[in-house]
Amino acid sequence: MDSNSKAKILLVDDNPSNLQVLGTLLKKLNFQVEFALDGLEALNWVKKEIFDMILLDVEMPNLNGYEVCLELKKNPETKEIPVIFVTVRDDIESTVKGFEVGAVDFISKPFNLNELRARISTQIELKRASDILKKYSVELERKNNIIMESMNYAQHIQNHILPEKELIKKNFAESFIIYRPKQIISGDFFWFKSIGNYKIFSVIDCTGHGVPGAIMSMIGFTAINDAINDNNILEPASILNHIHSFFVKTLHKESSGGIEDGMEITMCVLNTETNKLQFASTNQKMFAYTNNDLQQYAGDHWSIGEYQFAFGGYTQKTIDFNKNDCVYLFSDGFFDQFGAEKNKKYSLKRFREKVDSIKELPMSEQYKILINELENWQGEKDQIDDITVWGIRY
């Protein structure tokens, strides 16, 4: 009985002889015992003491055992105390009623010491296990609330560093952005800047998602600002070269001891005077709808921040980009999403076909169709990655 030592039990019976007999037995089993001669006295006891269990007689004047048990279960402070009825009744109706009012077990009079020990010990061990689980649950909830508060505030910060959608709409009236972090905060982000006749826009996919991805995105955001705002670099390939150097230096990638994280990026610069769209990309694709045809373009096969990056720099392409032409930038989250009946990837091929089928619609309609397509495909499956899709009609 060592596991039950120090457990405190309240005995409730209007017969002092029964209390004496049962109390003696319980003390032999190393329990602490208090006594109550009726239901009201029992309810007063639990207001001032904490008990591990209550042994409750059924037949008592004023308040019978069923009524006392109901009162105990109504009170949030006492509802978790296990109640065992002590009774001479052994009919099914009495047993069912006891369980209905909240009892956990019955002990029959006259008492058998081994039965008494087994039933009480079992319920006390269950109660203690339940108390431990609740304690851990409360602590887990507390820590989870702290984490969620931090995540939500981090989301607030991250959302405020993204370009304002009003600014994007001012420069590209016909455009849409699908931006869906896998978790509250994202490793994806998008970037925009208008400098004279240059419109610079980009979609970036950093390593990871959630907190690690968000930290990487802040480094990426800083690197882009450093290239364009601080160093006035306006050539896409040169911007990527600068960002790569920034990453290598910031993350100490000069040697093989540096971490492997980095980012994939498509960087576009539209010259509104020449109607030329220059772009450079790392491991990402881009769609452009020009000359009544949707073309897919690929960039270099080196990620930003790769230590092995040694081929001399990123390259860029230039395409004619006239009024009503469209361009689509995206991370891999959309077409890598698992779903449908066979739980397979949506695929880049299917994504391109879908964009091709809606490319002439207003951008607001394209947005709705792509969102609906994504949600129908994903269904009840978990989102596997951050998702960003940016469509622009010039």
Domain boundary assignment for the chain: 2-135, 162-393
Q: How many Å apart are CA 301 and CA 202, to the nearest integer?
A: 17
β-partners of residue 176 are: 391
Domain 162-393 has CATH 3.40.50.2300: no
* Residue keyed to tokens 């003491």: 49
Of the chain, the percentage scoring pLDDT greater than 90 comes to 73
Q: What is the pLDDT of residues 81-134, one digit of tens each?
A: 999 998 877 778 888 999 999 999 988 877 777 888 888 889 989 988 988 999
Residues, the chain: 394
* Radius of gyration for the chain, computed over Cα atoms and rounded to the nearest angstrom: 35
Question: Which of 114-128, 133-147, 305-319, 376-390 bottoms out in mean pLDDT, i.e. has the lowest?
Answer: 305-319
Which amino acid does the sequence have at 317? K
Per-residue pLDDT at 228 = 97
CATH pick for 2-135 out of 3.40.50.720, 3.40.1390.10, 3.30.70.2170, 3.40.50.2300: 3.40.50.2300
**pLDDT greater at residue 61 or residue 363:** 363
In which band, very low, low, confident or very high, does the pLDDT at 42 lie, cut at 50, 70 and 90?
Answer: very high
Q: List pLDDT tens digits, range 314-354.
A: 999 999 999 999 999 999 999 999 999 889 999 999 999 99
In 10 A of CB 72, how many CB atoms?
Answer: 23
Least confident of 5-9, 184-188, 316-320, 324-328: 5-9
pLDDT at 309: 56
Q: Is the pLDDT of residue 271 over 90?
A: yes
Distances from the Cα of 208 to the Cαs of 183, 211, 247, 264, 311, in angstroms? 11, 8, 16, 11, 25
Distance between CA atoms of 62 and 290, rounded to whole angstroms? Answer: 90
Packed helices 92-101 and 65-74: angle between N→C axes, nearest 10 degrees: 20
Look at 56-65, 173-182, 302-311 and tell me which has the smallest mean pLDDT: 302-311
Extended beta strands in the chain, E state: 8-12, 32-36, 53-57, 83-87, 105-108, 174-180, 188-195, 198-206, 263-271, 276-281, 285-290, 293-298, 317-320, 326-330, 338-339, 344-345, 387-393
